[in-house]
A and B are shown apart, each in its own frame.
Chain A
Amino acid sequence: MSKIIEAEGLTKVYKGKVKAVDHISFSVNEGEVFGFLGPNGAGKTTTIKMLNTLASITEGRASVAGYDVMRSPGDVRDSIGVVPQEFTADDELSGLENMVLMARLHHIRIGTAKSKSKDLMQLVDLSDAANRKVRTYSGGMRRRLQLVMGLLHEPKVLFLDEPTLGLDVQTRSKMWDYIKGLNRNRGLTVFMTTHYLEEADSLCDRVAIIDRGTIKVSGSPAQLKETVGGDIVTITLSDGTEDLTGFFETIEGVKEVTRTGSVYRIKLPKTEKSLPAIVEGLVRKQLQIKEISFTKPTLDQVFLEVTGKSMRDEGAPTTDSGWENIKMQRVSGN
Chain B
Amino acid sequence: MISETLALTGRALRKWIRNPAAVLPGFFIALFYVALLGSSFNPTKVVPPGTPPQIANAILAQTFGGAPNYITYLTPGVICIILVFNMAFGGIDLVLDRQLGYLGTLLTAPIPRSAIYLSGVAQNLAKVLLLAVLTFLVALAIPNGLELPGTFNIIDFLGVFLGFTLLGLGLSFVFTALALAVRSIDSLVAIVNFLTLPMTFTSNTFFPLDVFPDWLKSVAEVNPITKANEAARLLVVNGTLSAAQTTTYAYDILYLVAFTAALGILGYLAARRALRPE
Contacts and interface: CB of A to CB of B under 8 A. Distances in A.
A51 B209 CA distance: 57
Interface residues of A, number: 32
B50 to A, nearest CB: 60
B112 to A, nearest CB: 9
B19 interface: yes
A102 interface: yes
Interface in B1-39: 3-4, 7-8, 11, 14-15, 18-19
Chain B interface size, under 10 / 10 to 19 / 20 to 34 / 35 or more: 20 to 34
A332 B4 CA distance: 29
**Most B CB within 10 A of own CB, among A78, A82, A90, A153:** A90
Given A77-B108, A97-B11, 19 more contacts: A54-B277, A54-B278, A55-B277, A74-B110, A77-B109, A82-B104, A84-B104, A86-B101, A88-B104, A92-B15, A101-B7, A101-B8, A104-B3, A104-B7, A105-B106, A106-B109, A107-B3, A153-B110, A329-B100
Interface in A260-275: none
Tell me whether chain B's interface is mostly helix, strand or loop, or mixed.
helix
A77 B8 CA distance: 18
Interface of B: 3-4, 7-8, 11, 14-15, 18-19, 96, 99-102, 104-111, 276-278
B48 to A, nearest CB: 55
A92 B18 contact: yes
Contacts of A71: none
A183 interface: no
A146 B113 CA distance: 22
Given A82-B108, A84-B105, A86-B101, A105 B15 contact: no
A140 B4 CA distance: 29
B113 to A, nearest CB: 10
B15 A82 contact: no
Contacts of B99: 329, 333
